[in-house]
Amino acid sequence: MKYTNCPKCGNNLEQYKCTTCDFVFYQNSKPTASALIIKDNKILLGRRSIEPSKGMWDIPGGFCNYGEHPEDAVKREALEETSLIVEPKEVLGIFMDEYGVDKESTLNIAYIVNIVGGEEKAGDDLEKLEWFSYDKLPSDIAFENGRQMIEAWKNKL
Ligand SMILES: [Zn+2]
């Protein structure tokens, strides 16, 4: 969703700048960080228990907080959703997508991560966690960027 009115005074925005109060409002894609948790060519996915894409298999991850480094976001999200402590190993790639009913533009940073601690347990937004072999992946993977990330991972094997 692209806003056309100033968040400060409500008047029209022209490009980034308000025509009335001169407030500058940058509109960028929202960054997210995803954790591809890999072990023995298997990937850990969570079945979503909430909308959007309820019931579909998802890569652990989520939106970066304001000012949060994506490496910190990926560790935080992996911990929240899987109870595992992970360490980013490499960036798999960056994938553009849209999220939710407002089709918010997202910039999705995919990390391949290592497990360094914790006991696997599904977070509140997930029905369950399951390991999938690269050749036996479920067909109902949530979000276009999630499907692209899994394709990119498989292409590296
Ligand atoms: Zn304004």
SS3 category, 62: strand
State the distance from the centre of ligand 1 to the C-alpha of 66, rounded, in angstroms: 22
- Neighbouring residues of the ion ligand 1, judged by CB less than 5 Å: 6, 8-9, 11, 18, 20-21, 23
CATH architecture of 28-156: Alpha-Beta Complex (3.90)
State the distance from the centre of ligand 1 to the C-alpha of 97, rounded, in angstroms: 29
Domains of the chain: which residue ranges? 28-156
pTM (2 decimals)?
0.91
Say if residues 112 and 153 touch (Cβ distance below 8 Å).
Answer: yes
Would you give the DSSP letter of residue 153? Answer: H
State the distance from the centre of ligand 1 to the C-alpha of 22, rounded, in angstroms: 6
pLDDT tens per residue across span 108-146: 999 999 999 999 999 999 999 999 999 999 999 999 999
